[in-house]
Structure 1
Amino acid sequence: MHSNKMIQENIIITSTVHNKPITADFRYIPSKEKKPLILFVHGFKGFKDWGVFNLLADGFAQNGFVFVKINLSHNGTTPEQLNDFADLEAFGNNNFTKELDDVKDTIDYLFSASCQIPKDEVNLNSINLMGHSRGGGLVLLKAREEVRIHKVITLAAISDLTKRWPESFLQEWREKGVQYIENKRTNQLMPLYVQLYDDVLNHPDRLSIPKAIKEMKQPLLAFHGTEDETLPVAMAHQIKEWKPDTELVIYEKENHVFGAAHPWQEKTLPNAFKLILMKSERFLKNHE
């Protein structure tokens, strides 16, 4: 292990399509060797500094990776308030197309001259995506259309966007133009404008996770817990069915966040996350 101190910086990536910034951070231990990079994408009602994500990032950085996390441009946080949903209007106007654009903008940034990660510290031929929940669905969609992605890791990923909402919910959504989702943690009522659903209907090919999984070329490692209360473990088995070479890891008794919570006060990762870190590192290094 290098005795060098970890470098950690917060950055803002300009979105080329939307006028909202993508806040991000990266960390690595300088070694003058090109290291594989992991780009991490949070889920619905998530953000880059949620719960254990910083500890996870530290773990990867300490083991020879560059770890980059982003806040999707319309996730509701702002550069001034990274841990609060201060911009509910942006949250309501988020959709999958915008999120796919955000991931592309981030990858473009990594290749750009303005990227603050020194070129001699990062291996741009080994850019890997990791996503949790809806972010897991997003990285599966992105991998199919992005040749610069080397491998993909999902944590409790959604396997299909079209079957997410019951018919009665959709009908009411269409009539009102908005549905409010309660955030149990913050007690905020968070708007979802019907444009989110229209986006899925209007881009049936691009936003089909099943199709993306069947067509993606990259190696895939998928984690899921049997007690997932948000996205049933059956979704992980579907992913494996559509892409038989998926490395599927199911954790008994684990929930949607693998035992984590926000805020997370402890100095170490929950057990399932320790295993996720270990297995992910092995997966990324094995397929070089």
Structure 2
Amino acid sequence: MQSNKMIQENIIINSSLHEKPITADIKYIPSKDKKPLILFVHGFKGFKDWGVFNLFANEMANRGFIFMKINLSHNGTTPENLSDFKDLEAFGNNNFTIELHDLKDSIDYLYSENNIIPNDEIDYNQLNLAGHSRGGGLVILKAREDDRIKKVITLAAISDLSKRWPESFLKEWRDKGVQYIENKRTNQLMPLYVQLYDDVLENPDRLSIPNAIKEMKQPLLAFHGTKDETLPIEMAYQIKEMKPDTELIIYENENHVFGAAHPWKENKLPQTFENILNEIERFLK
């Protein structure tokens, strides 16, 4: 165990596309050894401080990684409210093109003079992306178009955006211009403007996760639970079929968040997350 004190920095990354900032935090233990970096992306209705993500980041930092997690600019949180959906208009106007640009800006930040991580701490040959749920699909899309990314990790990832919504939902969405998604945790009705679907239609190749999986060059480690109630286990098998060298780890009877919840009151990770941590460490080192 290293004895140095953990560095925890909260930062704001300005978007090069729009006025909404990307909030982020970075955790690592300074050692003057160059360390691999994991850039982590939350999923739909998620945020960087959800549930066990801070514990997860701390553990990865303790194991010799730099862990950076971001709030995508239009996820509904604000710099003043990092864990509450105070900006539902931004949430409704989010789309995958914006999120890919957020990821580009976040990676560019690491190469910029604004980067707070000292040069002698970060190994630029080991920049890795990780994402949960929709964020898992996003990191796959990003890896195909950015060769600065060396390895990719997905937790309960979506395998195809185009098949996400049933026809009846799409027709009503088109007619009304908006659909409201209930957030059962907060009881908020969260708007999704039809521009989100138009973005998928207008960028068929760039936003095709199947195409990205087949074309991405990076090694992929994918986790999924057999009792995933949000994105069925079949999606994990589809990813493996499209990229046969994917290292797929299936957890029996685990749900979409691998036994975690928000808020998370315990000071240790659920057992499956401990296992995920061990597998990620092995995969990246």
Normalising TM by the smaller chain, what interval? over 0.9
| Number of the residue aligned with 1:279 | 279
Give the whole-Å Cα distance in 2 for the aligned partners of 1:97 and 1:240.
Answer: 25
SS in 1 for 2:217: coil
Give the whole-Å Cα distance in 2 for the aligned partners of 1:253 and 1:268.
Answer: 20
| Number of the residue aligned with 1:99 | 99
How much does 1:265 deviate?
Answer: 0.3
Does residue 185 in structure 1 map to residue 175 in structure 2? no
| Number of the residue aligned with 1:82 | 82
Letter in 2 for 1:7: I
| Number of the residue aligned with 1:252 | 252
Letter in 1 for 2:46: G
SS in 2 for 1:46: coil
Give the whole-Å Cα distance in 1 for the aligned partners of 2:233 and 2:271.
Answer: 19
Deviation per CA, 1:96-121: give whole Å up to 9, x if none.
Answer: 00000000000000000110111111
Give the whole-Å Cα distance in 2 for the aligned partners of 1:83 and 1:265.
Answer: 15
| Number of the residue aligned with 1:195 | 195
| Number of the residue aligned with 1:125 | 125
Deviation per CA, 1:238-277: give whole Å up to 9, x if none.
Answer: 0000000000000000000000000000000001100000
| Number of the residue aligned with 2:237 | 237
Structure 2 residue runs without a partner (length 5+): none
Structure 1 residue runs without a partner (length 5+): none
| Number of the residue aligned with 1:70 | 70
Deviation per CA, 1:117-139: give whole Å up to 9, x if none.
Answer: 11111111110000000000000
Letter in 1 for 2:271: N
| Number of the residue aligned with 2:264 | 264
Letter in 2 for 1:95: N
Give the whole-Å Cα distance in 1 for the aligned partners of 2:102 and 2:214.
Answer: 23
Give the whole-Å Cα distance in 1 for the aligned partners of 2:185 and 2:77.
Answer: 15
Letter in 2 for 1:167: E
Give the whole-Å Cα distance in 1 for the aligned partners of 2:180 and 2:52.
Answer: 27
| Number of the residue aligned with 1:174 | 174
| Number of the residue aligned with 1:50 | 50
Deviation per CA, 1:20-46: give whole Å up to 9, x if none.
Answer: 000000000000010000000000000
How much does 1:18 deviate?
Answer: 1.3
| Number of the residue aligned with 2:14 | 14
SS in 1 for 2:102: helix
Give the whole-Å Cα distance in 2 for the aligned partners of 1:184 and 1:111.
Answer: 39
| Number of the residue aligned with 1:113 | 113
Deviation per CA, 1:170-210: give whole Å up to 9, x if none.
Answer: 00000000000000000000000000000000000000000
SS in 2 for 1:149: coil
Give the whole-Å Cα distance in 1 for the aligned partners of 2:70 and 2:119.
Answer: 20
SS in 2 for 1:30: coil
SS in 1 for 2:253: coil
| Number of the residue aligned with 2:147 | 147
How much does 1:278 deviate?
Answer: 0.3
Give the whole-Å Cα distance in 2 for the aligned partners of 1:216 and 1:272.
Answer: 27
How much does 1:79 deviate?
Answer: 0.2
How much does 1:2 deviate?
Answer: 1.6
How much does 1:66 deviate?
Answer: 0.2
Give the whole-Å Cα distance in 2 for the aligned partners of 1:119 and 1:12.
Answer: 19
Give the whole-Å Cα distance in 1 for the aligned partners of 2:216 and 2:201.
Answer: 22
Letter in 2 for 1:272: T
Give the whole-Å Cα distance in 2 for the aligned partners of 1:24 and 1:146.
Answer: 20
What TM-score results when the alignment is normalised by the length of structure 1?
0.99
SS in 1 for 2:150: strand
How much does 1:149 deviate?
Answer: 0.2
